[in-house]
Amino acid sequence: MASTAAPVQEVATPAPSAVKQKIVFVLGGPGSGKGTQCLKLVDEFPDVAHFSAGDLLREHVKSGTEDGNMVADMIAKGLIVPAEITIGLLQSAVAQSGKGCILIDGFPRNTDNRDTFLKMFGYDCSLVLYFDCPESVLEERLLSRNQGRVDDNIEVIKKRFKVFLESSLPVIQSYEAVSKVAKIDTNRPIDDIYKEVRRLIVEL
């Protein structure tokens, strides 16, 4: 069901597919290794697709539309973008992927994201991977990766982590209540993390 909200008029939002893909939400603080682990899964498993809510939004920024410019301003300030925009982009990407298992990292960032996802997709995730890592380690990783992103400075990093704690942790806790969360310690070697992540996906 497509949203009728004005901000998503330029975002394609196809109706939910009759065949429901397995959706895995990948959550964790900024720099916790979500993207790295997702890419490793995609490399190994042909039927797995990976989408980053943040990457889709950054691509949308490049569109030059009024909607894209609004997203650019919010990202620069470390704020959360309206759910309809994010989920409209995700819905289009998932529908076009043709894959059976979809990893969505950095999403849902708050309860509004989660609720709007359910309304637009018509079904919930199969699993939530929660990448847990100390804030000091996350700051060090983000400051050293030097990818030229506007949201990788110390002030915005701290704001992003604060937003994660205030907005995303309640979402994780709601899924813990229904036994859908796998908490993973990501303050360790990448290959050690992947062994655990891989097992969870294989068993899904």
pLDDT category, 151, cuts 50, 70, 90? low
CB 132 within 8 A of CB 183: yes
Global confidence as pTM: 0.78
Each residue of 152-183: b (16+ CB within 10 Å) or e? beeebbebbbebbeebbeebbeebeeeebbbe
∠ CA 167-52-186, nearest 5°, is: 70
Residue 23 — pLDDT band, cuts 50, 70, 90? very high
Can you give the pLDDT at residue 149?
Answer: 56
pLDDT at 161: 81
> Given a cut of 70, is residue 10 above it in pLDDT?
no
Rounded Cα–Cα distance for residues 197 and 24 (Å): 11
Here the tokens at position 176 are 């813990």
Residue 28, SS3 per DSSP: strand
Residue of 184, 158, 201, 165 lying closest to 33 (CA atoms): 184
d(CA 5, CA 127): 28
Stretch among 19-23, 59-63, 92-96, 174-178 having the lowest mean pLDDT: 19-23
Higher pLDDT, 85 or 26: 26
Nearest partner of 39 among 200, 199, 149, 197, judged by Cα: 197
For residue 8, is pLDDT > 80?
no
Average pLDDT, the chain: 84
Instruction: Return the top range by mean pLDDT from 5-19, 75-89, 102-116.
Output: 102-116
